[in-house]
Amino acid sequence: MNLAEWLVRTAKREADRPALLSGETVVASYREFADHAARIGAVLRARHKVEPGDRVAIFMKNSPSYLELLYGIWFCGAVAVPINAKLHAREAAFILADSQSRVVFVAGEGELSPLLPPGCALHDLDRQPAFEPGGETLAAPVARRGDDLAWLFYTSGTTGKPKGVMLSNANLHAMTYAYFVDVDDVLEEDAAVYAAPLSHGAGLYNFMHVLRGARHVVPASGGFDAAELCALAPRLGNVTMFAAPTMIHRLLATARQTGYAGEGLRTIVYGGGPMYLADIEAATEQFGARFVQIYGQGESPMTLTALPRGDIVDRTHPRWRERLASVGRAQSCVSIRVVGPDGADRPAGEIGEIIAAGSPVMQGYWNNSDATAQTLRDGWLWTGDMGSLDEDGYLTLRDRSKDVIISGGTNIYPREVEEALLTHPGVAEVSVIGRPSAEWGEEVVAVVVPAGPQAPTEAELDAHCRSQIAGFKRPKAYVFEAELPKNNYGKVLKTELRARFAAP
């Protein structure tokens, strides 16, 4: 079933309810939201010759029209390719070429137009509206099957090249139903506030709010601003949102200064990176029973485990602390196991790789059968995360088998940063690691072996990174060393470097 049918049904039932808001200002009712999506679908088909199954990308910051574009893409049966707006134009161009997108929606051309791959049209909303009010429209969403693709979710690979996670309509249906069962109910009075990027987890959480006819709100700042949110939530009421742990950390700091105690906030779902125990304890003291944790990854979107509201505020269970430090139990539509490299289950309490199977698990990686075969084995998704299950089924994440750095809820792949730095003539060797940061969860540190007696300056290396990769991936600190610690095979011992920089 086409996801756009959910919007059409809600628009019939709740035509005049407010659907899309910019801050407190309503910009579209459900009737208008569905009408605009149908017209965008018609433009894609008539002007851009988009056929069902073709890919259409969005490379834009959060805005209310982002959701109209997503549903417009689905209306005409195409596959959405939301691209993180913080990526460098070169990185976005790679994704457009890899996904063979027919069209990319942008708001302002930026540096992308000279880099566009052949066959990909640029639709700049600053110059050309997404649709003409009197123009053509589509009568109904194009029929789609459960296993047809709906969303190509680009995640960076450890090789440094992003991989397109293929999510079908049925994957996203399963994720949505599991939310109602395992995470939270959604009420029609709710306001889903998109403070995190719509291209990722926050955007995936739009479906449940469309089904219930709730409000979708993009804050006026377009992103996360703790002071803005504290002021907006009481005025909107019934706010629900997805937040990276970093955002909760900042919200807490602001709330403590102003005395804000969560008025107007109904639910904050957090996940996407590690939450420190001290932070969630302090956050529940300040805001009360307003939190639910999820653990997921693009490959099983938002849907591996959940730690419900009750577990987060419980201080009576003998092991409440361990539970609070865990990521909860398997969501209802997935099986979770912790296994050794041979695939045999590890006993309770022992660490192994987390594997998962179930209806939200991806169809594979787009055009990348090697990576698919490595990650999906006998119907099980190998997550690359290490963890342990307790007797009651609570999963605790221990470490990542890959060396991904999660800074502010966003994954940064060290190899990509290393490759960028290694193109600087003053750098002989480099190893990039994450070190704990109270604000970001982790922050990027580059350990550099200079090529000559005169080491390049930090400013030079920073400028070099700026020309190569997205700003948020740039190291926050550089350390210059005469050599890197290595094992007998010459492989850099990142664990040793991490331990050295983790020490206060």
Residues lying near ligand AMP in the complex (CB under 6 A): 155, 271-274, 293, 295-298, 327, 383, 385, 397, 400, 406, 411
Q: How far is the CB of 406 from ligand AMP (least distance, A)?
A: 6
Distance between CA atoms of residues 242 and 205, nearest Å: 8
In the complex with ligand AMP, the residue whose CB is nearer, 68 or 299, is 299
Q: How far is the CB of 20 from ligand AMP (least distance, A)?
A: 25
> Which of the 8 DSSP states describes residue 180?
I
Q: How far is the CB of 305 from ligand AMP (least distance, A)?
A: 8
In the complex with ligand AMP, the residue whose CB is nearer, 333 or 406, is 406
For residue 325, CA distances in Å to 273, 311, 312, 331, 398 come to 12, 10, 9, 17, 10
Q: How far is the CB of 404 from ligand AMP (least distance, A)?
A: 6
| The two three-digit tokens of residue 246, written as one number | 């970093």
In the complex with ligand AMP, the residue whose CB is nearer, 148 or 299, is 299
Q: Are 338 and 387 in contact (CB under 8 A)?
A: yes
Distance between CA atoms of residues 400 and 381, nearest Å: 15
Q: Are 300 and 275 in contact (CB under 8 A)?
A: no
Distance between CA atoms of residues 341 and 395, nearest Å: 18
Distance between CA atoms of residues 85 and 436, nearest Å: 25
In the complex with ligand AMP, the residue whose CB is nearer, 170 or 406, is 406
Q: Inter-axis angle of helices 245-258 and 277-287, to 10 degrees?
A: 40
Q: Helices marked H in 121-266 — which ranges?
A: 169-178, 201-204, 206-212, 226-236, 245-258
346 exposure class (CB count in 10 Å sphere: 0-12, 13-18, 19+) = middle
Q: How far is the CB of 151 from ligand AMP (least distance, A)?
A: 13
Q: At a CB cut-off of 8 Å and minimum separation 6, what does 369 contact?
A: none
In the complex with ligand AMP, the residue whose CB is nearer, 59 or 413, is 413
Q: Strands of 121-124's sheet, edge to edge?
A: 121-124, 103-106, 55-58, 79-82, 149-156, 162-168
Q: How far is the CB of 331 from ligand AMP (least distance, A)?
A: 12
Q: How far is the CB of 396 from ligand AMP (least distance, A)?
A: 10
In the complex with ligand AMP, the residue whose CB is nearer, 22 or 155, is 155
In the complex with ligand AMP, the residue whose CB is nearer, 34 or 397, is 397
